[in-house]
Amino acid sequence: MSSSSSRRRTSHITHRRAAGIALAGVAALVATAVQSGAASAAPTPHAVKLSPAHVAVKLTASQRAELIRDADGAKARTAKDLGLGAQEKLAVKDAVKDADGAVHTRYERTYAGLPVLGGDLIVDSAASGKTERVLKATNAAVKVASLTPKVAKAAVEQHAVQRAKALGSSKASVDQSSRKVIWAATGKPVLAYETVIGGFQDDGTPNQLHVITDASTGKELFRYQGVETGVGNTQYSGQVSLTTTQSGSTYTLTDGARGGHKTYNLNHGSSGTGTLFSQSNDTWGNGTTSNAATAAADAHYGAAMTWDFYKDTFGRNGIKNNGQAAYSRVHYGNAYVNAFWDDSCFCMTYGDGAGNNDPLTELDVAGHEMSHGVTSNTAGLNYSGESGGLNEATSDIFGTGVEWYANNATDKGDYLLGEKIDINGDGTPLRYMDKPSKDGASADSWYSGVGNKDVHYSSGIANHFFYLLSEGSGAKTINGVNYDSPTADGLPVTGIGRDKALQIWYRALTTKFTSTTNYASARTGTLAAAGELYGTSSTEYKAVQDAWAGVAVGSRPGGGDPPGGGSSFENTADVNIPDYGAAVTSSITVSGRTGNAPSNLQVSVDIVHSWSGDLQIDLVAPNGATARLKNSGYDSTPDVHQTYTVNASSVAANGTWKLRVQDKGPGDTGYIDGWKLTFP
């Protein structure tokens, strides 16, 4: 046999945000749209049955703080156990504990006191304290030849300002003096400068352009916008109950039941906190823009529903999971058609829309924007490239979850975003989850290069995955809205319900994803989450595989017939690959075929491994003949998710085929996640 390979998925890091220490993030909404409609049943956040051992414990603020203190006290030992260099140190960011005592601790990293952007990692520990798994945003060794820049900081800052102006910024100036960092998100770590440019973007959104520049050559390595855009809705939620605070004869929009969340009036300003909404009675707004408190009531309600959604659905105590409330600001700017989340102020801000007549305070917009804060405080997904698409999609997914959770009769749950704002002026939503391409720009499924799209459009892949996982493919009417969701492989997907899909996505976000997670890694992470919650032989696990295959990420379980005839066979059982050890195999028995295998046998391989360059992969035919699929060599990227084409025409099709994998280098581990043979 001879073999040739064709890449099936590619990681795009070129335009991603570095999620390092102390990176501020602002998320706004306008760039795509989501359609309006509702789901088949009222939300039942307590109805999902999960595997008790793998459910995150609902920690009190003091319990969470204790976990973080314990991890902080042991961080030097942890760094040593991980084999980090003498100049590397860890900083604890978060910790999640499961019912079986397992702990998932998220760290950021410094090198010689400098933040390592793209150096974050997750350590999974058993109840015994034994480390079971380490997930890294980068597998490259963090080391630089010199800590002395060769390029003057003034030159770097001048370039960054010019870059901002070229992108349409007004009043562009250095907002934060350039700081030295180690840039590790896109290959070999280098000494770099991070410069933050302020002012305003071309649509009036506050500017936080982060420019990463090589400190030795002056070359721009990366840039990202700290103000992350999203989608808003000016439709109100009808008459709702608000939690307020009374002091004497004055009421304020202060929610004492939810961490003291406050809602402020910027009164068309664009900076500062504004004025806390206060009045002599406890009835807020009149349902129209003639009363400034109407938008405030929507924002206050959206914040409350978002808080309750995360608490009741996932046991999360606020955006940071520490009981601390954010705050909201309404009436930002003049005719500002957007809304945004800003990490630096830990606050949510809403514009009033075109002509100041359509405040962007719809429920799913509030949930979307504040979910950017959750992502920032968990996975920290870089806001560019494929990870940026996942970041945006996470906000769409949870924003949709908030809308369904609220079960509001005026703004019913649907799989559309911004359907009530009409930003486009044609009555269409900003984004459609069932078929994202209906907005004219979003991607329905993965392809090489999708990471180069705007993050609001590359998010379509994960949005589509979530819809397929929740509701399944094909035409259907849900809550009065018509949907018709296609699949990339032409095969049907059966949904498992939105509640389970949300649990899987949240667990993957909080315990599997890192700042550099791409779509291939997101598939791996959600499968791991589904396996922990429901079992690897469960309907839910298979549905995750099918839904990802439906958006062209990975393959389906074995036995299914691909479009146009032929057949496929798959083994999804995990096989551990020993570090620098003997080869291991995973077998597939093919039956029911006649004659020899084809000259274009498709071998789809999914391997999770922290350093893919260590791996040598062979296909072994039933008669013992072998085809080399991949040689070992220097490649620091994680995982192998690839389809190889093998000329197997000299071998009988029926019999036991084996995938043989050997780790040829020390220091990294992984496992065969699954593989498939397809006979065209």
State the helix-helix crossing angle for 539-549 and 460-471, rounded to 10 degrees.
140
Q: For the domain that residue 572 is a member of, what is the CATH number?
A: 2.60.120.260
pLDDT, tens digit (0-9, with 9 covering 90-100), for 319-332 = 999 999 999 999 99
Q: Of 255, 319, 305, which Cα lies nearest the Cα of 407?
A: 305
Q: Find the radius of gyration of the CA atoms of the chain.
A: 25
b/e burial code for range 627-659 (CB count within 10 A of at least 16 → b): bbbbebeeebbbbbbbbbbbbbeebebbeebbb
Q: How many domains does the chain have?
A: 1
> What pLDDT does 16 receive?
25
Q: Indicate which residues carry an active-site annotation.
A: 369, 456
> What pLDDT does 232 receive?
30
pLDDT, tens digit (0-9, with 9 covering 90-100), for 177-194 = 899 999 999 889 999 999
The answer on pLDDT for 31 being more than 80 is no
**Residue 109: which pLDDT band, with cuts at 50, 70 and 90?**
very high
Contact call for residues 273 and 249 (beta carbons, < 8 A): no
Backbone angles phi, psi at 330, to 5 degrees: -115, 170
The answer on pLDDT for 672 being more than 60 is yes
Please report whether residue 246 resides in a domain: no
> What pLDDT does 151 receive?
95
The answer on pLDDT for 147 being more than 50 is yes
Give dist(CA 439, CA 395) in Å, integer: 18
In three state form, how does the secondary structure of 359-410 look? CCCCHHHHHHHHHHHHHHCCCCCCCCHHHHHHHHHHHHHHHHHHHHHHCCCC
* Residue in this structure with the two tokens 């103000």, named with its chain if needed: 227
Residue type, 337: V
pLDDT, tens digit (0-9, with 9 covering 90-100), for 643-658 = 888 889 999 999 999 9
Q: Of 675, 670, 665, which Cα lies nearest the Cα of 635?
A: 665
Q: Of 275, 284, 294, 293, which Cα lies nearest the Cα of 241?
A: 284
**Residue 562: which pLDDT band, with cuts at 50, 70 and 90?**
very low
The answer on pLDDT for 7 being more than 60 is no
> What pLDDT does 61 receive?
82
The answer on pLDDT for 46 being more than 90 is no
pLDDT, tens digit (0-9, with 9 covering 90-100), for 276-288 = 999 898 888 888 8
**Residue 1: which pLDDT band, with cuts at 50, 70 and 90?**
low
Give dist(CA 424, CA 358) in Å, integer: 12
Partners of 251 in the β-ladder: 246, 279
Domain of residue 634 covers 558-679
pLDDT, tens digit (0-9, with 9 covering 90-100), for 576-613 = 999 999 999 999 998 888 889 988 888 989 899 988 88
Contact call for residues 194 and 227 (beta carbons, < 8 A): no
Mean predicted confidence (pLDDT) in 341-350: 93
521: its two tokens: 């890694």
Give dist(CA 421, CA 419) in Å, integer: 6
**Residue 26: which pLDDT band, with cuts at 50, 70 and 90?**
low
Neighbours of 44 (CB within 10 A): 13
The answer on pLDDT for 355 being more than 60 is yes
Q: pLDDT averaged over the chain? A: 86
Please report whether residue 661 resides in a domain: yes
> What pLDDT does 627 receive?
94
Contact call for residues 539 and 547 (beta carbons, < 8 A): no
> What pLDDT does 22 receive?
26
Q: Of 186, 181, 103, 159, which Cα lies nearest the Cα of 510?
A: 103
Please report whether residue 576 resides in a domain: yes
Please report whether residue 411 resides in a domain: no
The answer on pLDDT for 32 being more than 50 is no
Burial class (CB in 10 A: 0-12, 13-18, 19+), 286: exposed
Share of the chain above pLDDT 70, in %: 89
pTM recorded for the entire structure? 0.70
Neighbours of 252 (CB within 10 A): 15
> What pLDDT does 565 receive?
46
> Does residue 243 or residue 614 have the better pLDDT?
614
Please report whether residue 671 resides in a domain: yes
Please report whether residue 595 resides in a domain: yes
Q: Of 43, 50, 44, which Cα lies nearest the Cα of 503?
A: 50
pLDDT, tens digit (0-9, with 9 covering 90-100), for 80-108 = 999 999 999 999 999 999 999 999 999 99
Q: How does DSSP assign 559-599, residue by residue?
A: TPPPTTS-EEEEE---EEE-TT---EEEEEEE-S--SBPPT
Contact call for residues 415 and 478 (beta carbons, < 8 A): yes
**Cα 165 to chain center, whole Å?**
29
247: its two tokens: 């002091």
* Residue in this structure with the two tokens 């999620």, named with its chain if needed: 19
Burial class (CB in 10 A: 0-12, 13-18, 19+), 116: buried
Q: Of 589, 569, 603, 558, which Cα lies nearest the Cα of 2?
A: 603
Give dist(CA 366, CA 400) in Å, integer: 10
> What pLDDT does 573 receive?
87
> Does residue 401 or residue 520 have the better pLDDT?
401
Please report whether residue 667 resides in a domain: yes
> What pLDDT does 35 receive?
25
Burial class (CB in 10 A: 0-12, 13-18, 19+), 311: middle
Please report whether residue 663 resides in a domain: yes
The answer on pLDDT for 228 being more than 60 is no
